[in-house]
Structures are given as structure tokens and as C-alpha cells.
Chains A and B, each alone.
Chain A
Amino acid sequence: MNSIRNFELPKHLRETLKKANKLEWITLFYLISVTIVMYLVLGASQAMKAAWLEDVLSLVPSAGFLIANKINSKRPNNKFPYGYHRVFSIAFLVGAVALLGMGLFLIFDSSMSLIKAEHPTIGTMQIWGYNVWMGWLMIVALIYSAAPAMWLGAKKIPMAKKLHNKLLYTDSSAQKADYLTALAAILGILGVGLGIWWADAAAAIFISGSILKDGFQHTKTATMDLMDRYPERLLADDEDEIIIEVVQKVRSWPWVKDTKVRFREAGQVYFGQIAVVPRGEPKLQEIEAGYDEIRNIHWKLHDFTIDPVRELPDW
């Protein structure tokens, strides 16, 4: 069959995927170390709790990417005739819902500590014979949670765009923006040190708000992708012009009178259908040549059919 193939990225992107995979492994181990370090200095600070939970959640997209990447490249088989591309969409949705739920919980939790006027108690720890206020340790941990993350995020974003991988993009953009969380938490802790007890809860609400916003945004995108909406490029609200290109290409064929095209996203790639009204009887060679031409437009146009019809369908 002409339309269903084994999935393989173009050569230059295979290299990118390999690099992205390696960076995700590094990210995963780094994030695990961050969650441990943060947990050790957590204390009674609400802002630290919010920042820590955000770090724990940020493990989901990284782990999801690594798992999905293993499954994604499996061959289509009798049980899964369309291949395994959607695994990325599912991982993306799971991560997004987790973020949304955690955002809601943290907004509630942080607001309650503000309403109840909880004064965060931050004590002293002894390290190598020195008495150190735990607030300083929290700040050091927060810097450790932000600086390398920003570097990793900045490295992965261009790869995600090239690969058209939403999971990777979400993961890396969250890491790049992590300095905001860290900065908010640092200000909260410094505020507590200056005797402003509500600084901590206020910082926590700010952090929860940003988690909630991301969670909402990603859940929306993930759901719409699974609902087969018109493919969009990674930076939202930007319709992919590759599909317009397909329409123009099909119209330019001399044997085609009229055409209608639809595509949907399945993870990194597009699946679709091209209905054509041919002039006279369609020839098999012409259709076959058409498949090849469209496939050459872009690697994302992975799996589609060209259907000769008498009349254009309603969709």
C-alpha cells in the first residue's frame, strides 16, 4: 500500500532527535537532583512548596518524551495500523492535565495560608560548624533549580521547533521560564527575612498562577489536537502553511479539476485526505506521481490518501 509507511525522520532531523533525546536524559537526571535538593530545604515556606511541586511536575514531560520517543518509531502493525504517532499527543495531554490540577490545588493552598495569616517559620541549620539560616539554603537551592534549567531549555527549544514536537517544546519552554518561579520564591523568602510574613504566600500565589496558566493553555492545545483540528505550528495560532502549499500543488496538476484537502495532527506528523475531482477518467500513474510529489513537500505530511471523487465532499 502506498500511503502507510514506516515512519522515519529525514536524515538531518534524525541527528536532531538523537541530540534532543540525549538532552532529555540529562534534563531528567538534573531534575531528579533538583527535586531532592529542594525537598531537603523545603521547610515551612509555601513558596518553596509551590516551586518544589512545579519541579516535580516538570519531570512528567521529560519522562514522557523519553518514553514516547521509544514507542513513536515502532512500525505500524495489525493492531495499530496507523502507527504509534499519537503517543506524543497522549503524553502531552497527561502532562498538561497534571499541571492544571496542581495549579488549582496550589492556588487554593497558597490562598488559604494567606487568609489564615500563616507566618512561615524558617530556622537555622548547622553546616560544617557554621550556623546558616535556612532561608539562604533555600535561595541557593532555587538558583540551582533555575540556572541550568534555563540553559537546557534554551538549547532544546530550537530542536523542538524543527521536530514539530509539542511535548519537547512544552518541556523546554517551561524550563526556560523557570527563572521566574525561582525569582518569585527568592523574593518571597527574602521578604520573610525582612519580617514581611505574607511575602511568602504572595510569591506562592504568583507561582501557582503561572502553573495554572500553563496547565490551562497546554490542556487546551492537547485536547484540540486530539480533536483533529486544523494543524497549527508550534507557536500557537499560527496555521501551518504547508497545507496551503498542498492545495496549490494539487490544483496545479493538469488532470485535476478541483480539490479539497484536510489534515490532522498525530504527534509530530500529519495524517490527511486529499479529495480530487479529475478531468475525465483518473489514471493510476498520475495518482501515484501525485503521492510522491506531495510527500516531497515536507516530511510532516506522513500519511494521506488521494481520493478521486465525482463531487467534492462536504467536509
Chain B
Amino acid sequence: MKKFLFVLCIFLSACTFPKDPENSYEEAKQSALQVGLVENPPYVITLEEQPSGSEVEMIREFATKAGLQVKFFKGSESELISKLHKFKLHIVAGGFDKNTVWSKKAGLTTTYDKQHVFLIPKGENQLLKNIEEYILSKRNRDEQY
């Protein structure tokens, strides 16, 4: 049993693990990371031509590090989350609290400041892992300064 698990660990770490059931991350790599933005200053500001705000900056930084293009979509909360639920978006940002009411329809990342999270499509665990690894490393950087 333990030997079996050990072999399995090696085998699984060889390929990408965990995988996305709906291939969100692969899609993002091939075309672009599709991000829904809900106006909520100072986290997300969408009134100008170029979106800005702390969460938008984080997504830009994450995308650069992962070598992804980013496409932003502006919209209302319910509209964007329903798109996310159908796996048509990869991230929704808008200063969401970790106790957000949307946790039934969307997956939550870990918090980047002990309070706020990004929303992702439920069960897209490869995408989640990549975003969370970025968030965790950012958290470590923030703690050092």
C-alpha cells in the first residue's frame, strides 16, 4: 500500500498535477487569461480606459510571471460570476471578501491580505494552484517588508 502510494506520487508529480477538469489554465496559456472585473475601488477601478487598482495590478504581475496574455471584461457581479460558473472566464476580481456570498457558485483563492480573495471557476485546480502559488509568494514578500 505505502509502496504503491510512493510510486504513484512519483508518477503524478511527473505530469501536471492537479489538472483542470475544464482545461482553464491550458486555455489561458493558448489564448489569454480572461479576467472579469467588478468595479470596487481601490481594488478594481474600471471607469477609465485602462483598468487599474491593486487587484488588477496583481493579476497583471501574475500574468507576466506566468507568461500569459490578459484580457479584461467589465461587468456586473452577477453577470460575470454566471460566466465564471459556465467556465467562460478564468478569474473574477472585485475586492471580494473571503466570506463572500458567491462561494456556492465560484471557487475562492486563498487570501492575499488575510481578507480578500479572487474568484475562479469551481474545481479548476491547476489554474487555482498557479494563482495561489503566486499569491503565497507575494504574501511572503509583503511580510518581509
- Chain A interfacial positions (CB closer than 8 Å to B): 44, 118-126, 129, 131, 133, 135, 139, 143, 190, 192-197
How many interface residues does B have (CB within 8 Å)?
A: 26
Q: Are A124 and B132 in contact (CB-based, < 8 A)? A: yes
Q: Are A196 and B128 in contact (CB-based, < 8 A)? A: no
Q: Are A124 and B19 in contact (CB-based, < 8 A)? A: no
Q: Choose among A44, A125, A133, A190 the residue that contacts B8 (Cβ–Cβ < 8 A).
A: A190
CB-nearest residue of chain B relative to A199? B21
Q: Choose among A118, A125, A126, A193 the residue that contacts B18 (Cβ–Cβ < 8 A).
A: A193
CB-nearest residue of chain A relative to B121? A119
Q: Choose among A118, A124, A190 the residue that contacts B122 (Cβ–Cβ < 8 A).
A: A118
Shortest beta-carbon distance, A65 to chain B, in Å?
29
Most chain-A Cβ atoms within 10 A of its Cβ — which of B18, B136, B140? B18
In the complex, the number of residue pairs spanning A and B with C-beta atoms less than 8 Å apart equals 71
Q: With an 8 A cutoff between CB atoms, is B124 at the interface?
A: yes
Q: Are B8 and A193 in contact (CB-based, < 8 A)? A: no
Known: A120-B123, A121-B123. A131 touches B136 (CB 8 A): yes
Known: A123-B109, A123-B110, A133-B17. A193 touches B136 (CB 8 A): no
C-alpha gap A123/B121 in the complex (Å)? 12
Q: With an 8 A cutoff between CB atoms, is B133 at the interface?
A: yes
Chain B residues with Cβ below 8 Å from A195 are 18-21, 126
Q: Are A131 and B132 in contact (CB-based, < 8 A)? A: yes
CB-nearest residue of chain B relative to A119? B123
Q: With an 8 A cutoff between CB atoms, is B56 at the interface?
A: no
Q: Are B128 and A121 in contact (CB-based, < 8 A)? A: yes
The 8 A CB mask of B11-29 against A (1 = contact, 0 = none) is: 0100001111110000000
Chain A residues with Cβ below 8 Å from B110 are 123-125
